[in-house]
Every structure is written in C-alpha cells, then in structure tokens.
Amino acid sequence: MSHCFGKIRRFRFNLPQRIAAVLLALFLAQGFWIASRQSMTERDYQYARCGREIWERPATLFSGSTSCGNLSDGILAYRLAGLPLTAEVLLERALDPFRQPENRVVLAGSAPGAPSIPSIWELRHQLPCTLLLLRLPFLLAGCALGGGLWWVTRRLYGNFGGYTALTLYCFSPAMLSACLSPNSEILAALGLYGGIYTSIGVAHAMQGPQRKWRPRIVLLTVVFAIAAGAHLAALALAALLGLAFMLWIAIGRRRPILPVVLAATAGALLLLFACCGFSPLAFGELFRLPTEFPAFSADAARRFFLSPANIATTIAAIAGLALYLASRRSRYFGNTVPLLCALLLFCLILPGVNSTPWLWALPFLFTFIAGLAADAYESPRGKLALAAGAAIVLLQVISCVLDLPKSA
C-alpha cells in the first residue's frame, strides 16, 4: 500500500468524530434557517457586485475602477462572496440556448458593448438562492473554524474538552451572526486561530525529523494567507504571536524559527498578491495603513459578557478563570496560550481598520474554557464538574435557540 493510501486508511470516523460532525451540521442548519428568513441588504449587494467584478472583469483591478471601495477591508471576502454568484450566472448563461428568448438571462437584444452578464439587481428574481449563495462561503468558513477548534481542543484536552468547546462554538450567537453576512471577520478569526496553533504545531514538529516540517509549514503559509486576505492586521498578529509561542516551546531548536515564520509570511503575501489578480495597484491598496496606533479598551468585552445571549459563556469563563488562578496544576502552556490571546483580542482596538478583534477572541475563549473544564472533569469531583459542564452547555444551546428569531 502506498504511503498516501496508508494515511487515508488510518483515518477513523468513530464516535467522537461523528458527534463533532453532528454539532457542525447543527451549526450549518441554524445558519440555513436564519438565511432563509433574511432579505438582501445594501451590504449584500455591495459584496456581490464587487466580488463579481473581481472574478468576471479582472482588468478593473489593474485600473482601480472597481466598486469595492476600500480594499483594505479584505479582498478575500469579496472573492468568496462573488464566486458562487459568478458560477451560478455562468451556469444560467450556459443554459440559455435551451430557454425561450424572453426567459434568457442574457437577452438577445443587448446593446453593443453592454456587459454580457447582468447585475445582481437585475437577476435577483431569476437566480435561485442568491442570498444563500452569498452566505455559503462564510458559513463554510465558520464550519472550518469549528473543525479546527475541535481538532485543537480534542488533541489538547481529550474528547469531553473538545465537545465542550465545539458545543459552545456551534451555539454561539456571535459566531453565527458573523457567518450570516459577507464580511472579513470570520475569515480573520479562522486565519488568526489557525495561524497561532499551526505555528505551535510547527514548533512541536521541529523536535522531530525535518521531513515532518514541510507539510506543516505549507499549512502555516496557507493559514497565514487567509489571515492576510481578511486583514493585514490579522496576519501581523498571527505571525507575531505565533513566533512568540514557538520561541516559548521550541527548546534547543530556536534558530530556524524566525526563518520559518518569515518564509510563511512571505508565502502568504505572495498568495495574497495572487488573490489580487497579480495587480500591483490592488495589492498596494491593501497596505493603506492607519495613522493611529492600536489602543486597548474593555468596552467590547463588557458588552459581550453582559449580553443575556452569552450568559452561559460568561459563567463558564468566570468559573474557568477562577480555577486557573486557584489551581497551579491548571496553569500550563495549553491553558495559558488561549487565555493570553483572548485577553489581548478582547481589549484590542485597531483605529482606521474596519475590524472586530473581540470576535477573533471567541475561539481562544472557548479553547480556554475547554481546557479548564477538562481539568475539572479529571479532578476528584469529576462527576459533579461534568454535570456542571453539561448544564452550562445546555444553557448555551437554549440561549442560542431563543436568540435565533432575533437574528432572522
């Protein structure tokens, strides 16, 4: 058996993976239910129009004549929003020869020089599931982030730690809301969380043979590229925090760490340049940096933790922090990393950048809660802790379900 098929055969879809798949399916189901009750907004049309321009008329990127406005918001979000719509329009156009002339998407009497593919404004009653197609890439990005959260927490804290983190994530109104409109925030959260924990994975791999480095470094480059495509600030945070944590744990192998991070960052910028259609003008637009320095404020954290929809997460975070401070056994690397990241991102303000760092903090918060919950589950009063954890998770589910009509 070849090495590739050997790897496939070693993959197991056992009970833990099935439970995680069900939770992610419930996350998707909630997203589809809310999306089916929403209507198109001006923001939706903006992302749809800009995304389709980037895919269908790439020359506009070189001339700077797109309708996207400030591309520093993240060109990857525009591309993802426009991709399903462009594919749908091209499919409808291919089916035009089989329709009656009056029912065709591209009318036969179009004026010379007019665009061959009409705008979303003209197609909104012709294309099926337009709104869902706009949201689908971001819902899938949310599923990818949930899958990464499950993989990290299960590997660090075991099955019950993974279940706790993933359930809190899949029934988080804030995460659902971030996946139900075209935006860069869920992509930045995915790139930042994946970038930091992939960096830690690379540092662990450096303790072994070099043949295990390359796949992880390639993955690190791709994740950094997602962060860069969402916000360059997210790339900077992922690279700097990832470098710091790598230096923390890579004892005896610290010399190659900086070149690895620099190579992954350079590769991510190259992929970002490709995402810009290799347009120097569009690429340069992304580097319009704000003149103000980052600031810190607890306002975003206060609003999040005082919201009734987040009461279960608030209780779990307070209990976890109390256990972290009270128990020396809980103050180890696996719990300290997500705590530091969550504290930083909840308080971070990026002036001049259209971003919500507190949302990027949520996967780290769920990871921290899972780590402390796993410690409590393994304590002498593990059954009591398990019952308390189940009650908190159930409260999160109920709060999210009650909040669903407000999101629709």
Q: What is the band of 128 on the pLDDT scale with cuts at 50, 70, 90? A: low
Q: Which long-range contacts (CB under 8 A, 24 or more apart) does 28-31 make?
A: 28/139, 28/143, 30/170, 30/171, 30/176, 30/400, 30/404, 31/135, 31/139, 31/142, 31/176, 31/179, 31/180
Burial letters for 5-35: b for 16+ Cβ neighbours within 10 Å, e otherwise? eeeeeeeeeeebeebbeebbeebbebbeebb
- Average pLDDT rounded to a whole number, residues 250-277: 92
pLDDT at 251: 80
For 175, the token pair is 């995460």
Is residue 23 pLDDT above 80, yes or no?
yes
**Mean pLDDT across the chain, nearest whole number?**
87
Reported as a single tens digit per residue, the pLDDT across 218-244 is: 999 999 999 999 999 999 999 999 999
pLDDT at 2: 45
Among 63-77, 240-254, 312-326, 382-396, which stretch is predicted with the lowest mean pLDDT?
63-77
**C-alpha distances in Å from residue 382, one per residue of 163, 286, 326:** 16, 50, 17
Is residue 6 pLDDT above 50, yes or no?
no
- Average pLDDT rounded to a whole number, residues 23-47: 90
As beta bridge partners, residue 349 has: 295
pLDDT at 207: 82
Reported as a single tens digit per residue, the pLDDT across 145-186 is: 999 999 999 999 999 999 999 999 999 999 999 999 899 999
Is residue 363 pLDDT above 90, yes or no?
yes
Is residue 84 within 8 A of residue 72, CB to CB? The reply is no
pLDDT at 407: 73
